[in-house]
Amino acid sequence: MTQITITENVSVVTFKNQSDSNGNEFLAEIFRKIADAGISVDMICHAPATSETVSFGFTFADEALTTILPIINAVSKGRTMPMVNCGNVKFIIKAAEMENSVGFAAKAFAALSSADCSPVLVSTGVDEISILVSPSDSAELEKQLKKVF
């Protein structure tokens, strides 16, 4: 059984090409400070390493924005500031069958294509695919996801 859940008012922070010669020091610092502030981070997307820089993004509830912005500003001193995008809609496609079956990613991206939707962020787990989209794309994506799943 495939379950689709929808969450509105989701923010995403995207850091691009951040210097991180230690490999994970910057990520550990930012996620530690966010956790210390009591903010729950949800989707995390980390681009494959191609040099001594790191690109990554993560989501959190819009209501945490006023708490997280000072943290991002403090941690980002001397770095390129990240992009912050609020008011998004998150779809989670979850099915136990994902663990031992194929084709779920193909269906998810077919739905995105049919909806003419460019995702803001995509992350996966063993039994789920999370897709973050702008609110203007959410109604059509919901229809397309229900068709393919």
pLDDT truncated to tens, each residue of the chain (149 aa)?
Answer: 899 999 999 999 999 988 876 668 888 999 999 999 999 999 999 988 777 788 899 999 999 999 999 999 998 888 889 999 999 999 999 999 999 999 999 999 999 999 999 999 999 999 999 999 999 999 999 999 999 99
Sign of CA dihedral 5, 28, 118, 69: positive
Q: Quick one: pLDDT at residue 13?
A: 97
Q: Quick one: pLDDT at residue 5?
A: 98
Integer Cα distance of 131 and 38 in angstroms: 24
Residue ranges of domains in the chain, CATH in brackets: 3-7+87-148 (3.30.2130.10), 15-86 (3.30.70.260)
Q: What is the DSSP string of 17-79?
A: EEE-TTSSHHHHHHHHHHHHTTPPP--EEEPPP-SSEEEEEEEEEGGGHHHHHHHHHHHTTTS
Report residue 61: phi and psi, to 5°. -70, 140
Q: Quick one: pLDDT at residue 45?
A: 94
Q: Quick one: pLDDT at residue 26?
A: 84
Integer Cα distance of 144 and 21 in angstroms: 42
